Amino acid sequence: MVNYIYVTLPISIITVVAMAMTLTKKTKKGEQEIYNLLLIGETMLALGSIMMSLYLYYEL
């Protein structure tokens, strides 16, 4: 049996690092919408992986 928290926790850590890199990057005016969509996607991925790791940690 695999302990799934070791699978989902690095995904959330990498996603938080990617969010920090996206937030600190200087953007031009045309690129702002793309970075906003990227930030929304990264936030959803981070929240989903954190909730999945907590669910698997407490359920198994």
The residue ranges of every structural domain in the chain are 5-59
Question: Cα 17–52–36 angle (5° rounding)?
Answer: 40
| Stated pTM of the model | 0.58
Half-sphere exposure of 41 (CA within 13 A, CB side): 8
DSSP state of 3: -
For the stretch 4-58, pLDDT in tens is 667 777 877 888 888 788 777 777 777 777 878 888 888 888 888 888 878 877 8
